[in-house]
Structure 1
Amino acid sequence: MTRPAETRQRIIAAVLRIIGDDGVAGVTNRRIAQQAGVSLGSVTYHFATQQDLLRESLLHFVSEETRHIGELARRTEGEFADLRQVVRLVGEVAGAMPPDSERIAPYELYLHAGRDPELRTAAAECFAAYDRLAATVLTALGVAEPEKVASAVVGLVMGLKLRALATGSDAEHLVDALLMLTRGAEPAGGAGSAAGEPVRPAGEPG
């Protein structure tokens, strides 16, 4: 017998797939039920309105995303000597995630939030979660005013990921842009900045 929590997660996963494939306009209870393999009544039982569905789907995506990145940061915490190594890791993570429907879905939801006030609170919570995660890493690296830098880093990463999704490009532009930001964000006298030494992308010989 399927547990209620499992049914709820299957519904949310189906919503994200549908939004990624056809946008928010493609979300109907009948299609969700078909994609999730649940009864039509289960959809309305767990989510009374479409706004509930969209909000919970967006929050679920970001919760999973921040959990995954947070675990990765904790596992590799002792390996970071400077911000450039974090940038390289971000590039590796981005490069390992090919554009697909579930990666497109959050951007569709963020845009929809601009038209639907009921979804804006969820979108704000999502950006706040990304900002907190970025600020935590930047603080550990000794970056000055990490909260201010965090929002810029999050904005840059999300903008360049959107570009990659739209153009099918890889993570190279993301890494290059973050490395440029690194020059302004590293602590005074930080590694790699001494004597005007340029920051080199990962894999580039010294």
Structure 2
Amino acid sequence: MPATRAEASQRVRDAIVAATVRIVAREGVAAVTHRRVAAEAGVALSSTTWHYATKADILEAALVWTAEHEVASIAAIADRLTGFDVAAWADELADWLLAQLGEERELTVALYRLQAELLGSEGALAVHRQWGRGLRALGDRVLGEAATVDVRLVIAALDGLRMSALASGVADRDWVRAAVRRQLEALLA
């Protein structure tokens, strides 16, 4: 059955966003142009400008995609675990963090580069508010009515570990596991 026009259009948008993430991860935000994204995505240049009028629009769409991916990944952990057990959550979050530094490194690098580039823009602020609401909802689901400060501290601590390990190039499994467990115990136990 042939795809509808809307489905075909969505596939093109998805290809453009995925191409943008790859370019940003490999070469940085400065390398993103409509022409470059079109070539990477295997779509016509007119498709990139039709769907995303400006470079900022493409970058914001890539930031939205990376944020949604992160919330979905953590939601999958919440789906697997019942209730809140510090040890179980520490193990799962350590695995997630190690994946962010390993097989999903490209996505993680792109996420940080996009955040830095779009910092303070109205679109990025809206993305971060939505991202925060998504993570907060997961925190409430897992911890019950968790204190906002607790959820934000856990997120900030994990983000700090991820950035530190990414920047240093060190992803020692044992250290990451111990660090995540210690953070969760200190913040939530």
Per-residue deviation, 1:165: 1.3
**Quick one: structure 1 residues 112 and 128, their matched pair in 2 at CA, closer, same or farther if it must change by over 3 Å?**
farther
Q: Which moved more, 1:153-162 or 1:119-128?
A: 119-128
- Residues 15 and 32 of structure 1 are in contact (CA less than 8 Å); yes or no, is this contact kept in structure 2? yes
Q: What's the CA shift string for 1:81-132, capped at 9, x where partnerless?
A: 6222101111122223416322201101111122644433223332332333
**Quick one: structure 1 residues 158 and 185, their matched pair in 2 at CA, closer, same or farther if it must change by over 3 Å?**
closer
Distance of 2:69 and 2:9 partners within structure 1:
19
Q: What's the CA shift string for 1:56-88, capped at 9, x where partnerless?
A: 1111111122123212321x223x562221011
- Residues 131 and 154 of structure 1 are in contact (CA less than 8 Å); yes or no, is this contact kept in structure 2? no
- Counterpart residue number, 1:166: 167
Q: What's the CA shift string for 1:176-205, capped at 9, x where partnerless?
A: 333223334445xxxxxxxxxxxxxxxxxx
Report 1:18-167 matches (<5 A): 18-74=23-79, 76-78=80-82, 82-97=85-100, 98=102, 100-114=105-119, 116-139=121-144, 145-167=146-168
**Quick one: structure 1 residues 33 and 24, their matched pair in 2 at CA, closer, same or farther if it must change by over 3 Å?**
same
**AA matched with 1:32:** V
Distance of 1:125 and 1:174 partners within structure 2:
28
Distance of 2:105 and 2:122 partners within structure 1:
27
Name the TM-score, length of structure 2 as normaliser. 0.83
Instruction: Say which SS state the counterpart of residue 88 (structure 2) adopts.
Output: helix
- Counterpart residue number, 1:16: 21
**Quick one: structure 1 residues 162 and 33, their matched pair in 2 at CA, closer, same or farther if it must change by over 3 Å?**
same
Structure 2: runs of 5 or more not aligned: none
**Quick one: structure 1 residues 162 and 186, their matched pair in 2 at CA, closer, same or farther if it must change by over 3 Å?**
closer
- Residues 51 and 119 of structure 1 are in contact (CA less than 8 Å); yes or no, is this contact kept in structure 2? no
- Counterpart residue number, 1:180: 182
- Counterpart residue number, 1:198: none
Q: How many residues align?
A: 181
Name the TM-score, length of structure 1 as normaliser. 0.77
- Whose Rg is larger? 1
Alpha-carbon RMSD across the aligned residues, in angstroms, is 2.3
Name the % identity: 25
- Residues 17 and 58 of structure 2 are in contact (CA less than 8 Å); yes or no, is this contact kept in structure 1? yes
